[in-house]
Amino acid sequence: MYPELQRLDDQYAAAEADARSLLESLASDEARAAWRPAGGGWSVAECFDHLAITNQIYMNVMRPAADEARRKARLRRGPALPGFFGGWFVRSLEPPPKMKSKSPAVIRPRAEVKLSAAAADFFASHAEAKKFFEDNADLDLAAIQFANPFIKGLRFSLATGLHAIPAHERRHLYQARQILSQSRGR
């Protein structure tokens, strides 16, 4: 495996391990998982739900771009890394958040979602993203583009999308840990 792909694969594995560790620390406590901090913040369950929804939307727009590239035999010609703007975008997702922004309505978590359902959906969407990465690692990921599903007119490379997913997961798993910590002191 190419070094940048190995690092990306490690990021997917680390995000999954972090999510499992976070869930173990909750011990299936649905009440703690549903607790929201003051000021309208999300609960731990809502963080997992947001990640599941976002991952699924990314897969829905990235898959057709990869399928078309495969039909055209657009195989790897260089490292699968985001470009300048894509790299900035991925770094902006890293925890702790440097700037806060409101999520588009389409990726806001469901109201009163149960942790068990949100976690199952998260792990399914995470596995789908990892499989997409593994199945398409031979493509020219840095050159193949897809339309950003949240910002009209903006296009990202598949490499950017694949790097954004674990960065976004790290951000919201960090957020979930902060919420869990706050819930202990209530």
In this predicted model, what pLDDT tens digit does every residue of 1-18 receive, in sequence order? 899 999 999 999 999 999
pLDDT of residue 172: 97
Which has the closest alpha carbon to 125: 38, 63, 36? 63
**What is the rounded CA–CA span in Å between residue 181 and residue 84?**
35
Which has the closest alpha carbon to 118: 33, 183, 36? 33
DSSP summary character for residue 102: P
- pLDDT at 186 exceeding the cut of 80: no
Contact status, residue 145 vs residue 156, Cβ threshold 8 Å: yes
pLDDT of residue 61: 97
- pLDDT at 185 exceeding the cut of 80: no
Q: Which domains does the chain have, with CATH numbers?
A: 3-184 (1.20.120.450)
In this predicted model, what pLDDT tens digit does every residue of 102-141 receive, in sequence order? 888 889 999 889 999 999 999 999 999 999 999 999 999 9
Q: What is the rounded average pLDDT for all residues in the chain? A: 94
In this predicted model, what pLDDT tens digit does every residue of 84-105 receive, in sequence order? 999 999 999 999 988 778 888 8
Q: Show the DSSP H helices in the chain as ranges.
A: 3-26, 30-34, 44-71, 84-93, 115-136, 158-184
DSSP 18-35: HHHHHHHHHTT-HHHHH-
Contact status, residue 149 vs residue 57, Cβ threshold 8 Å: yes
Residue for token digits 């959906």?
A: 121
pLDDT of residue 183: 83
In this predicted model, what pLDDT tens digit does every residue of 40-70 receive, in sequence order? 899 999 999 999 999 999 999 999 999 999 9
pTM of structure:
0.95
pLDDT of residue 111: 85
